[in-house]
Structure 1
Amino acid sequence: MNGKETKRVKKILPVGIGKKVIPATAALGILFSMAPIAENKASAGVGAVLDITITVLGAVADTYEALGINPENPDPGTHIDVYAENETYQAPSFTSGEFNISMYHTQGDSNFLKPVKVRYPNGKIELHQLRSGQQLKITEAGAIIDLNPNGANVSEHDLLYITQAQLDEGKTGVVMNQGQHAFVEKASGKNPRFLGPLYQKYSGDSFGDWTVIARSSDYLYSQIENKLSDKQKQLITLTSKPVSKDVLDNYVNNEPKARADFYDRLSDVLAERTNIIETSIALPFTTLNDGKSYQIIPYKKGTNKVIVKTGSKYLSGKEGKGLQYSDSLGDDEVFELVQTDNSNKNEFQFHLKNKNGVSLAGNQYIHGFGTDWSFKSEIRFPDKSNNEINNWLIEWYPGKENERQKYDGVQFVADEKDSTKLIAKDSSGNVIKNSWVNRDNAYSFADADGVLMTGWQEIKGNTYYFSSPYGYMVTGGGSDSQIEDKYYHFNDDGVLQRSTWRGENYSDASGAFVKEGLKDIDGKIYYFQNYNVNKKELRMEDRKVILHFSDEGVVERVSDLNGKVIDSVVNVTLDNKTLSFKHDGSLYKTGLNKRENLLEYYSLEDGIFYTGWKMIDGKRYYFTNGRNYTFNAYENIDGKKYYFHEDGSVNRAGFEKIDGKLYHFDNNGVAQTGWQTIDNKYYYFDENGAAKTGWFQVGGGYRPIPLAYGYLWYCAREDGSLYADGWFKIDGKDYHFDQWGHKMPY
């Protein structure tokens, strides 16, 4: 048997696909599998129906396999053209009341993700990650869709506004693959890319090449219709056609109210609307727009880019005609906000730069984006204090993320709901929430309700402790760092320091300083006494040994009481833990120690006689009394068979070829035997765990009805997977297998 096979059309087995729904939200954007779309169901061969967009074999390959024809171009890439449906894209559903976006990976990579962002009229934002075979359904008018939410610039985003008329018609949509996206409209017809080869295959027309050129698709289809399976008919039927984006944009452009709403809400989609500051903008000689308020909207967290809006207009960075505004958003309407030196009154100042790096500037008479010897370009936000501006910057501005908020005129009062708790109010009487609160030279943190936190708290990935009852943050190594009889390691910013040194003191993984005893730190062993690492030799008269330490306090060697090498393996118990030394007096390193035919494991916590499983550096090992002697061989443990590699580790989950045979191991490293279903394929592993390949018989055991029990023939590929569910040509002969892989007699 040479393993070469082709699948041929012979019989259609009635196998259905159940509906698979992946909810993304209760009523707005809905992700669902494309398999339930009847007109887009496809087959991996007549007789087996699957969602061609998620098969690991490659979606394009499966399409042609289902059709039973060879593609002219076996790798069409991701190009989308008028006849690319079911080849490089899969059409979405066209249903009144819906707008659908389909995702399709031409090679069937189910791990590939394509982001789509949706902003609804009520302000709700959804970021969907579409996988191959999924479809996003939009049912609400006024939704704004961003097909490229990770675009670096505004011009790289691809936005759609969905109108009610568009939903009512239900005849447009978007298709995506791993390389591009396109806009489609409902259509009908037959795909000549598939129909022509099928005509030549089934018609018996000796002039098939000429007939395909000369005759219409309707004629070609009529000649072979009764020879096609339902799945072949579905695949060659066009339900869509690519169109320009203008076709979809015309819906919003033809509705003035919808267009105005679209432009007004563009910043909702493209910018960080949760971090807006509203203030007038002043230049050294003048205040813009007669002192009217502007919204300064961060464009993207972690950059210094902003959008500036007043009313429904966006400030434009276009140069040469004074200050200009736009109804819509483009790259001209995105600016860099660059902080510069404070004014002579110590007010925060910035430069607002357009895409060309030209700053907003002016003199007593004119202002805009330009350069002139008389222009000054420092802008201020006169309606806000320095603390208010800095608190705003901390939420999004690069380099500010680790700073803490400060408020003017903070007042601390008892919480109305619980008088034992405190809340903080700013100078305007507003309760401060989700923020640091400055208290003279100390800090507290107000939670979502404005209550000052106490006890252990996680804030932006760091751990802090706030003393009770007033919520002061603990810093440094003062007396307040003693918590529940342990001293904890905090830096000057109050962040708990785990697994790190401070002088001769060391804090463990909990952040508490080690007080007494042995401690393994980064593979080196130290001995602590009263919080300090010991550096002096330790005479143990009762054990007749001396422990020697390095200048850093690392345990180095053992000797007798005269300082001489003992010349034998020495185990010393200290602090209820065992130190193990070699013949030359040096300390065995903790972890794995490999000798010629032996793998040893030793640690302070487990000792030298550990028995059981152990994960070390991502690999799984088994030890008996601290040792393992099994390499490149199987071993039975608790009635299960495990394979041990050359380094002594147990095999990880998945397939592995060993001595020319294929094995599969479960998540615990156990070699699987007997019948197994893996990734929707059938395998049979013998009593030693080796996968059967080629023709084989298995007697007894489970057999699906109506085959019951008995000796049945199977055939497995070189990768161990069974031929199943259809007719296959193997070694030049046709064989039929049922859906479980049994060779059928007909």
Structure 2
Amino acid sequence: MNEKYKKRIPKILPVGIAMGILFSSAPITEHKVKADVDTAATIITTFGEIYNTFLAEPFGEWLDETSAKSLYNRGLENSAYIAPTFQKGEFGITVFDYYKDQNFSKKVKVAYADGKVEYKTIKHGQQLRIKQAGTIVDLNPDEPEVSKHNLLYITQKQLDEGKTGVALTNWQTFYLESSNEGHYTSLADKFVRGEFPGAYTKGGVLDVRYTFRDLFNQLPEDKRKLGTATSEPISKDVLSNYVTNDSKALADFNDRVVNVFADTNSILETPLALPFITLNDGKPYQIIPYKKGSNKVFVKKGSQYLSGKEGNNLQYSDSIGDDEVFELVQIENSGQNELQFRLNNKNGVSLAGNQYISQFGTDWSFKSEIRFTAKTNNEIHNWLVDWHPSKVNETKKHEGMTYAGLEFKPDEKDSSIWTAYNSGKLITNSWIERQGDHYYADSSGILLKGWQEFEGNTYYFSPNSNHRVKNSIGYVSSDTFIDGKWYNFNEDGVLQKSAWNGLEYSDASGAFIEEGLKEIDNKIYYFKDYKATTNELRLEDQNIILHFSDKGVLEKASRLNGEALNSVNHVTLDEKTLVFEKDGSIRKNGVSKIFLPGLFDKKEQPALVYYSFEEGPNYTGWKEIDGKKYHFVGGKHYTFDGHEPIDGKRYYFNQDGEAKLTGFDKVNNKIYYYNDKGEMQTGWQEIDGKWYYFDESGAAKIGWFEVGGGYHFPYYGYFTYYAKEDGSIYTDTTVEIDGRTYKFDSHGHKGY
């Protein structure tokens, strides 16, 4: 035995050990946290110097990935998850990345008791400490289905006890209770073996003269802290019981949970009516959008939610589930031109009824057209524009108020400033209609002029008369000629950006394109006098006719006499180069595989060509398109299922011409290896007589690492290796590492 360890370790009675039931007699100090971001009800913190240093270290495989994904026990603390600090008055949510990626994060949604709702992003090595009772947290806020959200309600009792929390990781969510019993984590065994290798036999078993507890207590403080579990994984039910056993908290949770799921800033409050019956005796409902871009809604009556369960009469629920989520589908207007909708449950069955009953069901006497009786068409339309997918390309309609005593008055000191009054009372924050024109009075009652933004829409108010400018169908108003450009406004005065108006098109600024060659939605147009060219354009000096569709799309080219091209032609127009194939069709943007004369024998052969409207046909260099990498010289590439050296590296080009790097590559200080077909390698690889081990991500192991594969003498199914900076392992040699001497056999196994 190593004499060094004879002197350091006292002889004590043998004690059997087993992971998970070992206990330390040495007290371990609590986490010391550092606040990074502070709000009234939450703090995001780190964990103090020891933990922060460990969490910031480069990835080391302290625990195999399979165990991190599948096991759920306290031994995983600090290697698969990190526990909250468990302080009274707080509920902690931590984030831990198995690979120790400092940019790894989890997003949660937090709804506070005061009504505020916000997202919180927690990075690897941080914890969110919740300090306000009644806080609702959604651990999966981006799930499209309600049933897949993961909600927690933090009660006052939980805060008072301060013994529960949650740990979020790459693959699992750990629900935790604090534990002060001194159980060891899986790191404890690794730390002890690494610190006291002489205390173990050649078979990897602890020598009978030593106890694990005594060795562990001699570790440095940082390793003792990291090797001691402070938590016990529990079922989620333990946390849920805090609210289910508290009737007041449960009622609050059910009433406010919609704040987490839905956009409560876009609620429409109105009675609902079917053709033969008004629901809820004409009392209003709240129609609450699920989220922007979805057509789903919740419907709330008081503290209850409308349920889509099918059967006799309408049903209501105190809580939210998939039955309480509906599709809101706009249908044809009523005979009185009122907006109408259908409300469909998860099975696609509509809310319907007759003069006696309403329910989610079908019957020959039922009608399912729903009207929002307290709202005008414009009010409903503007509400939908904020979130409904059917209105994504539409703008809000603002009909100004009419006032019997309307009067515009100029400012006494500046006659260019006008203020609006109604019977002597100042009008503020309001659209105003006068003689068919619309104006807007701001918070001071001053009529706006010039460019203005409202609710995501752009308007222009005449600097002379203050009215909102607009165009009519088939007519462009002279008011819309602004600073030397004509602008595209719709009938409601909303600036139309990147939009067509017949054969006229306004660019991203809203200004109409006067003339020139333009690419719009991957199609080519040629504008002259503000209109896209149709039919044909003759280019006499190039012996070319360009052919356009009736919508102005450039489709093909021919000779002036109408004959086909019969060869690839480059056409210059408006300082751009257009490429037409032999059949006259225009070359598409991006990558195409065609036949071209070879570089040397001029015999036609397959070629990959690259073209873009802005870069033209002769691009040289690398291009990544749809996640695939290509290389071009003069816009062409001829190598398929072969190799080329480029910039000192060797690449394989597959049958589609896609480039694949071969050999070693170093990215973000990680080493990868690609075989002769450009395929990333994993596991053990022998390369040029040296052995390397690449993990599941393809990165070569560096430093100490272990690989399993059944039971191996002498160490619990694992061999230990050491990889140098280039990724190759030591084999059949003796080396000094960190001041210690190690011997490696011909397979790279570290000796004991």
Identical aligned pairs, as a percentage? Answer: 39
Do structure 1's residue 279 and structure 2's residue 270 form an aligned pair?
Answer: yes
Question: 1:524 Cα deviation (Å)?
Answer: 7.5
Provide the residue aligned with 2:261 in structure 1. 270
Give, in whole Å, the separation in 2 of the partners of 1:440 and 1:394: 27
Give, in whole Å, the separation in 2 of the partners of 1:577 and 1:369: 60
1:1-48 CA distance string (max 9 Å, x none): xxxxxxxx9xxxxxxxx99989566444444445x374x567xxxxxx
Which residue, 229, 233, 244 being the options, matches 1:238? 229
Do structure 1's residue 252 and structure 2's residue 257 form an aligned pair?
Answer: no
Give, in whole Å, the separation in 2 of the partners of 1:190 and 1:664: 40
Provide the residue aligned with 1:204 in structure 2. 200
Give, in whole Å, the separation in 2 of the partners of 1:444 and 1:86: 63
Do structure 1's residue 159 and structure 2's residue 155 form an aligned pair?
Answer: no
Provide the residue aligned with 1:295 in structure 2. 286
| Alpha carbons of structure 1 residues 554 and 293: separation in structure 2 relative to 1, 3 Å | closer
Which residue, 180, 185, 196 being the options, matches 2:172? 180
Question: 1:120 Cα deviation (Å)?
Answer: 1.1
1:288-334 CA distance string (max 9 Å, x none): 44443332322333223322221x33344456575554433333433
Give, in whole Å, the separation in 2 of the partners of 1:591 and 1:317: 49
Give, in whole Å, the separation in 2 of the partners of 1:256 and 1:495: 53
| Alpha carbons of structure 1 residues 281 and 475: separation in structure 2 relative to 1, 3 Å | closer
What is the one-letter code of the residue matched to 2:56?
A: D
Provide the residue aligned with 1:94 in structure 2. 86
1:441-465 CA distance string (max 9 Å, x none): 9888999999887655677888765
| Alpha carbons of structure 1 residues 452 and 169: separation in structure 2 relative to 1, 3 Å | farther
| Alpha carbons of structure 1 residues 448 and 136: separation in structure 2 relative to 1, 3 Å | farther
Give, in whole Å, the separation in 1 of the partners of 2:338 and 2:527: 55
CA contact (8 A) 2:410 2:417 kept: no
Do structure 1's residue 189 and structure 2's residue 182 form an aligned pair?
Answer: yes
| Alpha carbons of structure 1 residues 267 and 446: separation in structure 2 relative to 1, 3 Å | farther
Question: 1:390 Cα deviation (Å)?
Answer: 3.6
Question: 1:266 Cα deviation (Å)?
Answer: 1.7
2:85 match: secondary structure: coil
1:91 match: secondary structure: coil
Question: 1:172 Cα deviation (Å)?
Answer: 0.8
1:353-405 CA distance string (max 9 Å, x none): 544536364644x6555666766655544333444334333333341344444
Provide the residue aligned with 1:221 in structure 2. 212
| Alpha carbons of structure 1 residues 90 and 554: separation in structure 2 relative to 1, 3 Å | closer
Which residue, 73, 77, 82 being the options, matches 1:85? 77
Do structure 1's residue 482 and structure 2's residue 481 form an aligned pair?
Answer: yes
Q: How many pairs were matched up?
A: 628
Question: 1:129 Cα deviation (Å)?
Answer: 3.7
Which residue, 110, 114, 125 being the options, matches 1:133? 125
Which residue, 163, 169, 187 being the options, matches 1:171? 163
| Alpha carbons of structure 1 residues 168 and 484: separation in structure 2 relative to 1, 3 Å | same
Question: 1:421 Cα deviation (Å)?
Answer: 6.5
| Alpha carbons of structure 1 residues 89 and 350: separation in structure 2 relative to 1, 3 Å | same
Unaligned runs of 5+ in 1: 1-8, 10-17, 43-48, 65-70, 560-570, 582-586, 636-640, 647-651, 666-677, 682-715, 740-746
What is the one-letter code of the residue matched to 2:130?
A: I
1:679-690 mapped onto 2 (5 Å cutoff): none
What is the one-letter code of the residue matched to 1:185?
A: E
Which residue, 461, 470, 485 being the options, matches 2:467? 470
Give, in whole Å, the separation in 1 of the partners of 2:389 and 2:444: 27
Provide the residue aligned with 1:699 in structure 2. none
What is the one-letter code of the residue matched to 2:320?
A: L
- Superposed CA RMSD: 6.6
Provide the residue aligned with 2:56 in structure 1. 51
Provide the residue aligned with 2:730 in structure 1. 730
CA contact (8 A) 1:362 1:368 kept: no
Unaligned runs of 5+ in 2: 6-30, 561-569, 581-585, 601-608, 636-642, 654-658, 672-691, 706-720, 723-728, 740-752
Do structure 1's residue 410 and structure 2's residue 410 form an aligned pair?
Answer: no
TM-score (norm 2): 0.61
What is the one-letter code of the residue matched to 1:482?
A: F
| Alpha carbons of structure 1 residues 502 and 220: separation in structure 2 relative to 1, 3 Å | farther
What is the one-letter code of the residue matched to 1:245?
A: K
Question: 1:144 Cα deviation (Å)?
Answer: 1.0
Question: 1:238 Cα deviation (Å)?
Answer: 1.0
2:224 match: secondary structure: helix
CA contact (8 A) 1:318 1:324 kept: yes
Give, in whole Å, the separation in 1 of the partners of 2:269 and 2:290: 15
Which residue, 113, 120, 130 being the options, matches 2:112? 120
| Alpha carbons of structure 1 residues 113 and 578: separation in structure 2 relative to 1, 3 Å | closer
1:190 match: secondary structure: coil
1:668-716 CA distance string (max 9 Å, x none): xxxxxxxxxx5599xxxxxxxxxxxxxxxxxxxxxxxxxxxxxxxxxx9
Larger deviation, residues 239-248 vs 392-401: 392-401
| Alpha carbons of structure 1 residues 24 and 420: separation in structure 2 relative to 1, 3 Å | farther
Which residue, 108, 126, 137 being the options, matches 1:145? 137
1:585-604 mapped onto 2 (5 Å cutoff): none
2:390 match: secondary structure: coil
What is the one-letter code of the residue matched to 1:186?
A: S
1:53-68 mapped onto 2 (5 Å cutoff): 55=58, 62-64=61-63
Give, in whole Å, the separation in 2 of the partners of 1:603 and 1:327: 58
1:557-602 CA distance string (max 9 Å, x none): 999xxxxxxxxxxx99998999999xxxxx999999x99899x999
| Alpha carbons of structure 1 residues 607 and 269: separation in structure 2 relative to 1, 3 Å | closer
Larger deviation, residues 77-86 vs 449-458: 449-458
CA contact (8 A) 1:94 1:171 kept: yes
1:121-177 CA distance string (max 9 Å, x none): 222211234443332222222211112223444333222222333223321101122
1:504-536 CA distance string (max 9 Å, x none): x77667665555677789798969589786966
| Alpha carbons of structure 1 residues 450 and 379: separation in structure 2 relative to 1, 3 Å | farther
1:624-635 mapped onto 2 (5 Å cutoff): none
| Alpha carbons of structure 1 residues 207 and 315: separation in structure 2 relative to 1, 3 Å | same
